[in-house]
Structure 1
Amino acid sequence: MTLLALALMGLAAGGVLHVAHASDAARCAWAATTAVVLLPTLVSIIKGLLRRETGVDLIAVLAMVGALALGEYLAGAIISVMLTGGAALERFAVARARRELSALLKRAPRVAHRRVGADIRDVDVAEVGLGDFLVIKPGEVVPADGILSSGSAVLDESALTGESKPVQLDAGTPVRSGGTNAGGPFELRVTASAAESTYAGIIRLVKAAEESKAPFIRLADRYALGFFGLTLALSGFAWFAGGSPSRALAVLVVATPCPLILAAPAALLAGVSRAAKHGIIVKGGGPLETLARAKVLLLDKTGTVTSARPQVVAVETFGPMSSDDVVRHAASVEQLSVHPFAPAILAEARSRSVEPSFPADVREQMGTGIEGTVDGRRVAVGQLAFAAPDTPRTPELRSIKMRTAVEGSSSVYVSINGSLAGVLLIQDPIRPEAPRALRSLRAAGVQRIHMVTGDHPDVAELVGDAVGVDRVFAERTPEEKVEVIKVVRAEGITAMVGDGINDAPALALADIGVAMGARGATAASEAADVVLTADRLEGLLLATRIAQHTRRIALESIFVGMGLSLVAMLFAAAGYITPVAGAILQEGIDVLVILNALRALGGGGLITPKRPEVKGLAQRLASAHRSLRPHVSELAALAARLDSLEPADARALLERLREMIETKLWPHELEEQQTAYPLLGKMLKDEDPTGPLIQTHHEIHRLARLLGRLVSQLPPEGPRAEDLRDLRRALYGLHAILTLHFAQEEELYSLFET
């Protein structure tokens, strides 16, 4: 900025002196201006040549040297202003946020609670030594690696591993630093100092990854060598053919690649501004241009592909009590729980419109369960060994255990007066917009999409299949995620998307790091090049489209500017343009290409047009899905229990499900088909997906009618053994098609909810 200010002042001072008829002083001012800019630029060029790097500034340096040699000082001053102005604009466009990892360091604990005998003393973390006993209080970050010395502990290690479920640890289990205590206080025997612990290692890994990341090569420099050779050839020809060095200088002046120097930074800066309007923070023009060329995408799972907000996905009952009653009793005691699953259970109660009672005599065993008295009954919620320790391991319980292992879900058991009443299955759901966003990214030019996660392979593969990735890298530590980045970079320019501390090293090393910043993952945001402040994967699609749109305009401006400069060079070689006239003409070309580059501020149809009525309708129908989902899960739950139920109870439950389908489910589906589908079809036009959804409605209606007829034909005492097979097939069929149908519709509605 200092050089630009000096160049402007020198050019203006020379102009004032020239108007005042002090021509010699004006020439001196212009010559001094040229020299002031030439010297540091020449030093920079020489350093670049020693590194075997050729930039577009080299032509400008030759033009300024020629201007000084031939006494064309005004032309030299004008070139100086153009050159320093372009450099200032580029520095502003490519400036990155500082990456000193202040968030990581801020999160790192400063104080540890060391137990010495019966006393607990607060000491600086740096003073913690091997063999010390530390007390970790609820909500605190573990400051050093160690061994759990007493009792049990519940740790939230999602920031380290990406695993969304809290980890239950028993005495004698190794504990890594960086996890958050999600249970009661526990004691840790230190096995590694804070400086040598897991958390400190991640910080060092991020720094090393940033240092090893390849430097950005500015867009203009990629075309510099060819243009430089052409300029020298045409300049030499003009000197030889015209016999005048002034012609050669005029060629150099009009060839001064200000369209190259100015157009790309101006367009990229406009693109950065455009992205910021949509909640996408791009740390400079370089990352935006790199994102436009990305061919490989790596995704973290928890918090990126999934929402990182646990939800109840199914309720299984083991007695006469309905699933609504099981949820109500569980929610009643969970109102006073601090466990991470408590909000999910309370949300399930709200979605079922059941009102919890306020519990009495509540006792919580951190990380294991909570119990209390609800309406005169003793209710326990938590692990099976806590809620109903005397319950025999029946086939139903073994089935639930297998299901949770395969699906990656968690089971929360509910007992009433010591008898097992039901189990809530809780899962971290896939973002509704994720499959569609990834398909659109492929259409935008991303060739390979992989998922890399610290989660279990079974869970990771299940999620990867659901969203359509090419490959899944499971059970990867932060160090191993970095190794994955190094491997897949051979496939093309690589973008990494993540949201946790465990993703920060990979984000720093990837060609372009993208952080999902809405959940407060500051460490990932510090290490990333792009931060999506809206907690939706569609932001990545929008950022990619903006980047591609911006790069296309930047290249267009560059080639238009180079083409105009080439035409001017031909006229200058023929003697029709003087050096000063060439400098002024070049300024006109600069203005033209910058105006064209600023078109990147416009959207160009980058965002799906939204209408208020569609947004409101989509939100209302998505809310209806949330209220219907518990009833849908009951279809499979009842099918699994038909054998064990008394015939009269089975008939009552079947009658209730039939009534739900006829009075709630089917009217909802008809409303969607009559109101939402036409609007969605108009908005998505050629991409209209409603045809297959209507066919799914036909199948839902067929199965619903079949179930209704089977129930209506049951004898008064309930289903007989020969009825169970057909009932079970209808129930399972309805559950499967409704689950798929809801997922398809929610993916569409997610486009218009925000």
Structure 2
Amino acid sequence: MWEKWVMAISAIGLLVSWLYGEVGGFDLSWLAVLLCGIPIAWSAGKELFQERTVNSDVLVTIAIIAAVSIGETFAAGEVALIMMLGMWLEQRTVAKAASALEEMVQMAPQTATVKRGDDWMEVPLEKVVQGDLILVKPGEKVPVDGVVKSGQAALNQAALTGESLPVDKRSGDEVFMGTLNTNGVIEIEAKRVGDETTFAKVTRLVAEAMERKAPVQRLLDRWAAWIVPTSLVAAVLVYLFTGDLVRAVTILIVFCPCALVLATPTAIMAGIGSAAKHGILIKSGVALEQIGLVNALLFDKTGTLTEGKLQVAGVARLHNQDADEVIRLAAALEQHSEHPVAQAIVKAGEERTVTLPKVDSFLVHPGNGVSGQIEGQQVLVGNRRFFTDMGVATEELEQMKEEQEQAGRTAVFVARGGKLIGMITLADRVRTEARETIGLLRLHGVGNIAMLTGDNRGAAAQIAQQAGVTTVYAEQFPEAKYRHVEEYRKQGHVVGMVGDGINDAPALTSAHVGIAMGAGGTQIAAEAADIVIMNDDLSKVADVVRLGQKTLRVIRENLIVSSVINLGAVALAMWGVLGPVGGAFVHNATSVLVVLNSARLIHYLSGLNKHKRPTPPSLASCSSCTCKGECEMSR
């Protein structure tokens, strides 16, 4: 909190100094020099004497001292304030990352309904022990890792596995803490509780990744490592050979001017500002530099490469039934259900503007399907297991189911009067911009692109093919995603991770730079990431990579131009041609040149968006289908 007050007071002091000069014989720019400069000098001293490293803080401290020595107090205060602002932004990012851990802990269930004797009692989670029998109702989260003992339910496991579809659970199936019961009632036996659960492991992975994430050396720090000793040696040599202290001080001034210090922060500020105008939140300058160096980018599937919502992908008609009739009957039954599959079918009915008939004797068969009387005939809508139990299964049905599962889709069958009349297939649709985004990334040097998902191999392969991703890791839990990021890092890649869920948080934190899809994703993913795409537009991933690359080019241009000018000025100072006043002029002129060069970044993304090609309507309407526009849903 104190940093805000220090920066505010320093900024006011600089503004007054710029407008009015000295006030009462005192230059208020000294406020910035002292309030902001002393912490920077302290940090520089610690790095230099304790860590034995030379970084940009040392360079800034020398620049401040050199500027003050020739009366350029305003310039010294300006540099100190800018660097203090950068330090504060970095500290704020660390605090944000820590809050992600707190939120993960809060998202875990705090109580559980446990059987004690013949009664069900709600008890604090810490009192649940291995072997307890726990009741989980619709809308509740599973409080432990365990095994279903009785009942049926559809659990949304996206938080842990990223699976786009709720998973039906029945007796003998394993369930995990933090997953949401969307439909049905189950009793589970606790197998892992507290710190032993999968959810707790995810939390630990995020914490460990935050602790061990090595600090990245900024481009300016690498330059400072040779600029600082070079400038000091040059100044000492000139003083020893000429005995002229003014020449030596002038060398320090022109060797470490504001231009060199402003080279990185001005470009970073312009880049971050440009991104913010286009719905991209970049939390730090390090993140912007790192995204420009990324050569391996790993994508989560559900909610990242895909829209994260089930949609009807097609309708198979049997016995000359009309596709609208199949949808009409299914939607009539499913309108009474809250299951995500049911909601997708009802939405398809609304899009087709079918009139839903009256339903009598409606029944829900948890984990299987629904049934009811429509126009005097029994109608069934559900999965293969349901149709087998109801005596309607056929070889044709089995074959259709296998084909859809291999394609990564969910099959819902419809029967009327004991006869199979159609099949509705559902899938998570690939984002329309996914394929073009992947192509742009490859075009701009990101050669290693992979997809990580908790979904089965069939669904993963189908989505990857449509998105243009060739490397796929399927059936991956959070720990496995984290390990893949670590493997890419060990291979020497600069790794970026793009995700949106709790299950992605460890990988987002472990990567050199994490990118969260913010609008549709979880708050935890957004907190753990370094960059957040606020409007959920996947093409912004390619935009921010290109912005990072452009920002690095501008920083290098700034450093090279200011260094070349420095070297020329140093040569003139050594010969006594350039004095302190001339050095100050070079100092300010180069600073203006650097700022103007950095300012080009402000409109960089606007220029990219002007040249974006719109997605063809045919692709947008059929993005998750391999029918090439010929299936029922595309008509």
Query: TM-score, normalising length from structure 2?
Result: 0.89
Pairwise CA distance, 1:59: 4.2
Alpha-carbon separation, structure 2, partners of 1:321 and 1:15 = 82
State the SS of the aligned residue for 1:171.
Answer: coil
Q: Which residue number in structure 1 is paired with residue 352 of structure 2?
A: 352
Give a deviation string over 1:146-169, Cα, whole Å, max 9, x none: 221212222111221122222122
Alpha-carbon separation, structure 2, partners of 1:85 and 1:298 = 37
Pairwise CA distance, 1:268: 1.0
Give the letter for the 1:112 counterpart.
A
Pairwise CA distance, 1:334: 0.8
Q: Which residue number in structure 2 is paired with residue 44 of structure 1?
A: 43
Matches within 5 A, 1:163-312: 163-312=163-312
Is the contact between residue 86 and residue 258 of structure 1 (CA under 8 Å) also seen in structure 2?
A: no
Give a deviation string over 1:679-731, Cα, whole Å, max 9, x none: xxxxxxxxxxxxxxxxxxxxxxxxxxxxxxxxxxxxxxxxxxxxxxxxxxxxx
Pairwise CA distance, 1:563: 2.6
Pairwise CA distance, 1:600: 1.5
Q: Which residue number in structure 2 is paired with residue 560 of structure 1?
A: 561
Is the contact between residue 7 and residue 80 of structure 1 (CA under 8 Å) also seen in structure 2?
A: no
Give a deviation string over 1:641-674, Cα, whole Å, max 9, x none: xxxxxxxxxxxxxxxxxxxxxxxxxxxxxxxxxx
Pairwise CA distance, 1:604: 6.1
Matches within 5 A, 1:334-413: 334-387=334-387, 389-391=389-391, 394-413=394-413
Alpha-carbon separation, structure 1, partners of 2:593 and 2:298 = 39
Is the contact between residue 267 and residue 555 of structure 2 (CA under 8 Å) also seen in structure 1?
A: yes
Q: Is the deviation greater in 529-538 or in 293-302?
A: 529-538
Is the contact between residue 90 and residue 262 of structure 1 (CA under 8 Å) also seen in structure 2?
A: no
Is the contact between residue 413 and residue 420 of structure 2 (CA under 8 Å) also seen in structure 1?
A: yes
Alpha-carbon separation, structure 2, partners of 1:597 and 1:528 = 26
Pairwise CA distance, 1:610: 7.6
2:87 maps to 1:91:
yes
State the SS of the aligned residue for 1:449.
Answer: strand
Is the contact between residue 282 and residue 532 of structure 2 (CA under 8 Å) also seen in structure 1?
A: yes
Alpha-carbon separation, structure 2, partners of 1:523 and 1:19 = 49
Pairwise CA distance, 1:19: 8.9
Structure of larger gyration radius? 1
Which consecutive unaligned segments of at least 5 residues does structure 2 have?
none
Is the contact between residue 478 and residue 505 of structure 1 (CA under 8 Å) also seen in structure 2?
A: yes
Give the letter for the 2:452 counterpart.
V
2:328 maps to 1:328:
yes
Is the contact between residue 384 and residue 393 of structure 2 (CA under 8 Å) also seen in structure 1?
A: no
Is the contact between residue 60 and residue 80 of structure 2 (CA under 8 Å) also seen in structure 1?
A: no
Q: Which residue number in structure 2 is paired with residue 592 of structure 1?
A: 593
Is the contact between residue 64 and residue 79 of structure 2 (CA under 8 Å) also seen in structure 1?
A: no
Alpha-carbon separation, structure 2, partners of 1:739 and 1:560 = 58
State the SS of the aligned residue for 1:505.
Answer: helix
Alpha-carbon separation, structure 2, partners of 1:8 and 1:142 = 54
Give the letter for the 1:98 counterpart.
K
Is the contact between residue 259 and residue 593 of structure 1 (CA under 8 Å) also seen in structure 2?
A: yes
Give the letter for the 2:71 counterpart.
L
Q: Is the deviation greater in 213-222 or in 56-65?
A: 56-65
Cα distance, 1:563–1:365 mapped onto 2, change above 3 Å: same
Cα distance, 1:15–1:156 mapped onto 2, change above 3 Å: closer
Q: Which residue number in structure 1 is paired with residue 421 of structure 2?
A: 421
Give the letter for the 2:81 counterpart.
G
Pairwise CA distance, 1:208: 0.8
2:137 maps to 1:137:
yes
Cα distance, 1:167–1:603 mapped onto 2, change above 3 Å: same
Q: Which residue number in structure 1 is paired with residue 497 of structure 2?
A: 496
Give the letter for the 1:222 counterpart.
R
Give the letter for the 1:566 counterpart.
L
Alpha-carbon separation, structure 1, partners of 2:187 and 2:23 = 83
Is the contact between residue 496 and residue 515 of structure 2 (CA under 8 Å) also seen in structure 1?
A: yes
Alpha-carbon separation, structure 2, partners of 1:17 and 1:600 = 32
State the SS of the aligned residue for 2:503.
Answer: helix
Alignment RMSD? 3.4
Q: Which residue number in structure 2 is paired with residue 114 of structure 1?
A: 114
Is the contact between residue 67 and residue 249 of structure 1 (CA under 8 Å) also seen in structure 2?
A: no
Q: Which residue number in structure 1 is paired with residue 449 of structure 2?
A: 449
Alpha-carbon separation, structure 2, partners of 1:259 and 1:147 = 64
Q: Which residue number in structure 2 is paired with residue 724 of structure 1?
A: none
Matches within 5 A, 1:686-705: none
Is the contact between residue 40 and residue 84 of structure 2 (CA under 8 Å) also seen in structure 1?
A: no
Q: Which residue number in structure 2 is paired with residue 691 of structure 1?
A: none
Is the contact between residue 103 and residue 526 of structure 1 (CA under 8 Å) also seen in structure 2?
A: no
Whichever structure has more strand as a proportion of its residues is 2
Pairwise CA distance, 1:247: 0.5
Cα distance, 1:103–1:310 mapped onto 2, change above 3 Å: same
Give a deviation string over 1:332-371, Cα, whole Å, max 9, x none: 1111111111122123223434222242332212322112
Alpha-carbon separation, structure 2, partners of 1:194 and 1:234 = 62
Cα distance, 1:590–1:74 mapped onto 2, change above 3 Å: same
Q: Is the deviation greater in 265-274 or in 453-462?
A: 453-462
2:572 maps to 1:574:
no
Cα distance, 1:492–1:293 mapped onto 2, change above 3 Å: same
Is the contact between residue 10 and residue 29 of structure 2 (CA under 8 Å) also seen in structure 1?
A: no
Give a deviation string over 1:368-403, Cα, whole Å, max 9, x none: 211222233222211234346354654322321321
Pairwise CA distance, 1:506: 0.4
Pairwise CA distance, 1:415: 1.6
Alpha-carbon separation, structure 2, partners of 1:413 and 1:509 = 43
Alpha-carbon separation, structure 2, partners of 1:36 and 1:311 = 58
State the SS of the aligned residue for 1:177.
Answer: coil
Pairwise CA distance, 1:237: 4.1
Query: TM-score, normalising length from structure 1?
Result: 0.75
Pairwise CA distance, 1:63: 5.9
Matches within 5 A, 1:718-733: none
Give a deviation string over 1:478-527, Cα, whole Å, max 9, x none: 11111111111225211111111111100100011111122242221111
Q: Is the deviation greater in 144-153 or in 433-442?
A: 144-153
Pairwise CA distance, 1:412: 0.9
Give the letter for the 1:592 counterpart.
L
How many positions carry a matched residue from both structures?
624
Pairwise CA distance, 1:204: 1.3
Whichever structure has more helix as a proportion of its residues is 1
Pairwise CA distance, 1:78: 4.8
